[in-house]
Structure 1
Amino acid sequence: MCFIQQKSGKRYSLRAEEIKHKYKSYKELKEDFADMNVALKTDTEIIADLIKKLNDSNSDKAAKLVLLEDLEYYLHQIDNAQLFCDNGGMSLLMKGLNDTDDDIKQKSAFVLGSALQSNPKVQIFAIESGVMQQLIRILSIDPNKETRKKLLYAVSSMIRHFPFAQQKFLELGGMSALVTLFGDSEDNSLKIKVITLLTDLYIEKTIAVSDTENSEKKKQYQQ
C-alpha cells in the first residue's frame, strides 16, 4: 500500500512537472508577447483602458461607438460589470444616455442593459446613482423608437427578478412611462415588448409568492 502511494505520488509529481514545462505562466506569456511587441492585458486592464478612452472628450462619434461595442462584450461578465461601476463607468453611460446623438444614446442604453442583467450589485449601484429615474424620464419623452427599445431593454434588465427595483420603478412613475410608450408608439414590436415585460413580471411575482421555501423573497414580492 505504501509502495503504491509513493509510486502514485511520484507519478503525480512527474505529471505536474510535465504540465509546468508544457504550459507557460501568465508572466512568461506577457514577456513573450512583449518581445513580439504584442500587449497581453487582463480584463481589468482592458476595462480601465476603455473607460479612460471613453472619458476622453476628444473622441469622435465613431471612436465612441467602437469603445461602447467593446465594453458591451466585456460587461456581460458579472465581475467585469462590477469592476466597471467601481471605476466610475456608470457615470459615463449616464452621460451617453443624455447624448444628442441617437446612435450614442442607443448604444449606451444597450451597454447599460448588458451590465445590469442578472447582476444585483450593479443593479443596486444603478438605482443609487439615479439611473432608474433617468431611464424612465427618457423613455417617456424620446421620440425615436429604436432608442426606446434599447431603453426598455435596460429597464427590463434592471427590474427582472429584483423586487426592490420593481418597487422603485413603480414609485418613480415607471408604469406611467410604459402606458405612454404603449399609447404613443405605432410600432407593434415595441408594444409586444411592453406586454411581454409586464406579463413576465406578473408570472415572476406569482411564482415567488407561491414559493413556500423562500419566505424572504415571498415577502419582498408581496410588498
Structure 2
Amino acid sequence: MTLKLKVSVTMRPTSCRNRRASSSCFTFAFLLLLLNFCHIASIAGQKSESALTVVENTEGGGAEEEEMTVDEEEEEGELEVVKPTAEWQTLKPGQAVPAGSHVRLNLQTGQREVRLGEEQMKYRTQEHREQEEAQLSFSPEELKRAMKKIKEDLNTGRKDPEQQDSVASKFRPLEELKKDMAQLDMLVETDFQIMKRLLDQFNNSNSTTEQRLSILLELEYMVHQVDNAQTLCSMGGLQLILQGLNSSDFRLQESSAFVLGSALSSNPAVQVKAVESGALQTLLTSLATAEPLHVKKKVLFAVASLLRHFPYAQRHFLSHGGLQVLSELFKADGGGILRTRIVTMLYDLISEKELISQLGLDSALDASHDERVRQYSEVSLQGELLEKGWCRLVPQLLESTEHDFREKALRALLAMSPVCLDQYRSDSSLLGSLVSLRVQYEEMVQSEMIIGEENGYFSEIMELIDALQIKMK
C-alpha cells in the first residue's frame, strides 16, 4: 500500500534579511515539514518500518515542494512460532510463542525473552530433555551435507552399471521368494501335529533320556492352553506321562509330574480323565516313596491341581488314605517347604467347600449349583483332619522363622477351628506360640507405623493372631 503525501512549503527570501535569518527559516520550514508528515502518517496508520522517499517538485511558481512516499508491505508473512526451552532465549520481532510460555522484557538489552512456563516446566521430564538433546545433536549444515551425500551416492549408482549388478546380486527375485513362501506354508505345523510328533518321539525306544526331557519341557509349555491339554489326553499322552511318573529316573519323574500338574490346572475335562486313568493312585504312591525333595514338590503340585474344585477327586483322595500320606510327608519335612505347600492345599480345599456351601451363591444363575453342593457335602474333609491329627500338626508350622509360613499356618488354623477348637485350647505349646508371636509382631507393626505403613503385612499377621486367640477364649 503506497501513500503519497504532498506538503508545500513556500520560502520567501524577503523574510530572511541576512544569512543567519535564512538559516533559521530553513530550519523552521523543515520542522513544519516533519510535523505535517507525522500528523498525516498517524492518521493513515503508518508503521515504523515504512520507507520514506523525498522527491523534488519543479511545479509551482517559485515555490519548492517535497513529495513523500510511504511504502508498506501488502501482506504479512506467516508468523514463526518459537519453541521455548527451559533457558531464556531472545524473541525476535514477528515471532510468536505458544500458549502458557513465560515472556519477559530484558531491561539491560531491551530485548523480549521467552522460556517455558511454570506448568510446562512441571511436566517436563528427563525423557523430553533427552529427546531435545537428540534433536539438537545434528546442525542444519550437517543435515544438508548428509542429504547431498545421499544424492551423490544415488547418482553414482545410477551411472555405474557394475555397481547396480553387484547390488542386485545380493537379492533374490520375487518369484523365487514366492515359491519359498509356498513351501513354508506347507511345512507349518498345528499344535495337534506338534504334540503328535512329540509323543511319537517320546514313545520311540531309540529316544534318549535327554531327548525325552526336552519333549516333556515342550509339552509343559503347550498344555497351559486348555484345548491342547484336552487334545493331549485324547491322543493317549496322559498314559505316557503316567509312565514317566513310574520311571526309575528322578528327572523324568519330576518333568512328568510338572506336565501333568500344568495340564490339570483349571481343566475339568482333564481332571476327569486323570482320575479315570488312575493318576491319583500313581501320585500318592510317588509321595509315599523315598524320592528327592524336588520330585515331591512337583508331585504335590500335580495332586493339588487334581483336587482343586473337583469334589469327586477329593472324596477318592480321602478314601485312598491321602491325608495319611500327607501326614507322613509333613512330619518328615524339616525345612518347612513341603509343610507350607501341604497346609496351603488343605486351606484351599476347606475354603472352597465353605464358599460353595454358602446360601445364595449365584444359585439362580448357576444351574449346577445344587449338584455341586451335594457333591461337596459328601467330602468330610474337616472330620478327616480331626481324626488324622492335623489339629496338632498344623501348629508346628508356627515354629518356622519365615513370616510367610506363619501366615499360611494361621489361616489354616482359623479354617480348621470349627472342629479343632477343643484341641487348640488344650495345646499349651500353641497358646505360648501365639502369645510370643503377638509380642513380636506388635513391635514390627509399630516399626511399620513409623515409616508410614499403617496397614502393612505385619499388621495383617497380627490380626490373624488376634482372631485365633478370640476363638480360643
Category of TM-score, reference length = shorter chain? 0.7 to 0.9
Distance 1:176 1:44, change over 3 A: same
Number of the residue aligned with 1:218: 373
Number of the residue aligned with 1:192: 340
Distance 1:207 1:69, change over 3 A: same
The amino acid that maps onto 1:217 is: R
Offset at 1:38? 7.9
Distance 1:61 1:34, change over 3 A: farther
Q: SS state of the match for residue 63, structure 1?
A: helix
Residue 209 (structure 1) aligned to one of 357, 372, 377: 357
State how 1:142-221 maps to structure 2 within 5 Å: 142-212=290-360, 213=363, 214-221=369-376
State how 1:17-28 maps to structure 2 within 5 Å: none
User: Once the two structures are aligned, what percentage of the paired residues are identical?
Assistant: 41
Offset at 1:33? 4.3
Structure having the larger proportion of residues in helix: 1
Number of the residue aligned with 1:26: none
* Cα distance per residue 1:25-49 (max 9 Å; x no partner): xxxxxx8545359821111111111
CA–CA separation in structure 2 for the residues paired with 1:189 and 1:38: 49
Residue 118 (structure 1) aligned to one of 246, 254, 266: 266
CA–CA separation in structure 2 for the residues paired with 1:166 and 1:125: 15
Deviates most, 150-159 or 115-124: 115-124
Distance 1:164 1:36, change over 3 A: closer
CA–CA separation in structure 2 for the residues paired with 1:178 and 1:126: 20
Distance 1:143 1:32, change over 3 A: same
Please say which structure displays the higher CA radius of gyration. Answer: 2
Number of the residue aligned with 2:277: 129
Offset at 1:143? 2.8
Offset at 1:108? 0.3
The alignment's TM-score, normalised by the length of structure 2, stands at 0.40
CA–CA separation in structure 2 for the residues paired with 1:144 and 1:59: 25
State how 1:36-51 maps to structure 2 within 5 Å: 36=184, 39-51=187-199
Where structure 1 has 5 or more consecutive residues not aligned to the other structure, the ranges are 1-30
Structure having the larger proportion of residues in strand: 2
Where structure 2 has 5 or more consecutive residues not aligned to the other structure, the ranges are 1-178, 364-368, 379-473
Offset at 1:110? 0.2
- The one of the two structures with greater contact order (alpha-carbon pairs below 8 A, sep at least 6) is 1
C-alpha root-mean-square deviation of aligned residues, in Å?
1.6
* Cα distance per residue 1:18-77 (max 9 Å; x no partner): xxxxxxxxxxxxx85453598211111111111111111211111111100000011111
User: Is this contact kept in 2: 1:33–1:39, CA < 8 A?
Assistant: no
CA–CA separation in structure 1 for the residues paired with 2:359 and 2:203: 45
The amino acid that maps onto 1:162 is: F
1:65 aligns with 2:213: yes
Distance 1:211 1:112, change over 3 A: farther
The alignment's TM-score, normalised by the length of structure 1, stands at 0.82
Number of the residue aligned with 1:98: 246
